[in-house]
Structure formats: structure tokens, C-alpha cells
Amino acid sequence: MPAHAVIDRPRGPGRPREFDLDAVLVSAADVFSERGYHGTSINDLAVATGLSAGSLYKAFADKRAVFLATVEHQSLRRGKELSEAIASEQLGLNKLRAALTHYAAISCGADGRKGCLVVNTAVELAAGDDEIARLVKAAFRRREALLADLVRQGQADGSVATDVDVDAAARFLLSLMQGLRVVGKSMPTRSEMKAAVDVALRALRAAR
């Protein structure tokens, strides 16, 4: 059985039904992003995923378990997309440009209107839920660590100014990236997003 497949085992006779966990969590992410945790019901998730409420309860303990799995999956999914977006670039500054441009792109249009599930979760729930706060913090730390690594690469190859504080720069860029996702809910234009990216890159670029 594929690693991503989950078995829904009925209580009565009959063959177990298999479904794609990745696809289920992607659909769940859309619902949670649009409606928030408290505004989403199990029935909403059932409609979005094409599963019955009973099937969801057999695969997950409750709505919270679906939500936690969805947030973690979405964070890892976005991290993979980000890695793919920067993979073809060589210089550290160009990798940073690709990363920020990627976030600017997904912060526009329908995807931008939904917003980032991790950011939405941080705003809605992290202050009052320690487990969710840890999940959000881990997601942000992964992103910040990647950005710090790209700043160091840029300093090593001469594309990023050597007097830039790596940790502060990474935190600044993380704030910009997640801020783009928040601003994206107001449906900005792609050119407006790109202008913000250009300002950030000018602050890091090494003098020529």
C-alpha cells in the first residue's frame, strides 16, 4: 500500500476503501484557509474532500486532528514548492529573489485571497493553544533557517553585502514573506507585490 494511502475500514462486511491522504489534506487546507478553524465543520470537510463524515472520523480522531495534520502537511507542501522555486538559481541573492517572487505570486489572485493556512492559524489560534503555537513556530523556523542559509550563500558568492546581519535579515525576509500572504487577502496586483520584493532585495544587494 502506498505511504500516502489511508484505509477507511468499515465496521460491517465489505472491502476497505482507500483514499489519497495528500489530496484530502490539500482540500482540507482550502476550507480551513477560507473559513478558519472555528468556522469549519466536519460536514464542510466532508463536502470538500468527497468523503463522508464517518470516513473522516475513522481516519482522524476529530476535527482538531484533521486540522493539525492539515497545517503540518500544508507547511511541508509550501516548503517543497519554495525549494523548487529557487532550485535553478546559482547566486544567493537570486535564490532570495526567486523565493520572494514565489511568495508574491501565490499572494495574488484566488490563492492570495485564501491566504496562508499557517499565518491564518497563527492569528486565529496560536495565542491560546500551546500545541498549535509550537506547530506554527516550527513552520516559521524552517522558513527562517532556509532564508538565513540563502543570505550566507549570497555573502559567500558576493551577491549579498557582507555587513548584513544574517539572522536579522532572515527574520526580516520571513516577516515580508508572511506579510505578503496577509496583504494578499486584499487582492493586490502582482506589480504591487513585486515592488515590495524589489525594495527588500536592494537592502541586501552587495555594492558593485
Q: Residue 33's pLDDT is what? A: 93
Q: Note down the domain range covering 24.
A: 5-204
Please write the tens of the pLDDT for every residue from 114-151: 889 999 999 999 999 999 999 999 999 999 999 999 99
pLDDT band at 207 (very low <50, low <70, confident <90, very high): low
pTM of the predicted structure, to 2 decimals: 0.84
d(Cα 117, Cα 31) in Å, to the nearest integer? 10
Residue 153 CA, chain-centre distance (Å), reads 23
> Is the separation of the CB atoms in 176 and 200 below 8 Å?
yes
CA–CA distance, 208 with 196 (Å, rounded to integer): 22
pLDDT at residue 186 in the model = 87
pLDDT at site 111: 84
Residue-averaged pLDDT of the chain: 89
What average pLDDT does range 147-159 have in this prediction?
97
Inter-axis angle of helices 42-49 and 21-35, nearest 10: 130
What's 81's domain CATH number?
A: 1.10.357.10
Q: What is the pLDDT of residues 66-87, one digit of tens each?
A: 999 999 999 999 999 999 999 9
Tell me if 75 sits within 8 A of 134, measured CB to CB. no
* Measured distance between the N- and C-terminal CA atoms of the chain, rounded to whole angstroms: 56
Q: Let me know: does 102 contact 82? Beta carbons within 8 Å.
A: yes
The pLDDT value recorded for residue 19 is 72
pLDDT at 11 over 90: no
Question: CB of 165 within 8 A of CB of 173?
Answer: no
Tell me the CA distances in angstroms from 86 to 54, 100, 119, one per residue in order.
41, 10, 22
- For residues 13-27, average pLDDT: 73
Q: How many structural domains is the chain composed of?
A: 1
